[in-house]
Amino acid sequence: MNYTYILRCSDGSLYTGWTNNLEKRIQDHNAGKGAKYTKPRRPVILEYFEEFETKELAMKREYEIKQMGRKEKLKLIGQAERKR
């Protein structure tokens, strides 16, 4: 599977990315091996993710989410929390 995800950084900011191994990618971010953006903002917490069959679909969704404002991203996170 491929995943698009949103992380909450230690400074409260949100980071969006995609991966084909979600657990490993979160570990990489927290080990400082993830994105340049998250390295100084550790630890990060996984707040939201979606699953996709293909890398291309996950990357497309990553782009869509990155175009959203903070309020829209928080709304996605909130909707996911209500479903749990």
Percent of the chain with pLDDT strictly greater than 90: 92
Tally of structural domains, the chain: 1
Each residue of 34-45: pLDDT tens digit? 899 999 999 999
CATH at 77: 3.40.1440.10
The predicted structure's pLDDT at residue 81? 81
By residue range, what is the domain housing residue 77? 2-83
Give the CA distances from residue 54 to residues 1, 19, 47, 48, 58, in Å, rounded to whole numbers and listed in that order.
7, 10, 22, 18, 7
The predicted structure's pLDDT at residue 7? 98
Each residue of 59-84: pLDDT tens digit? 999 999 999 999 999 999 999 887 77
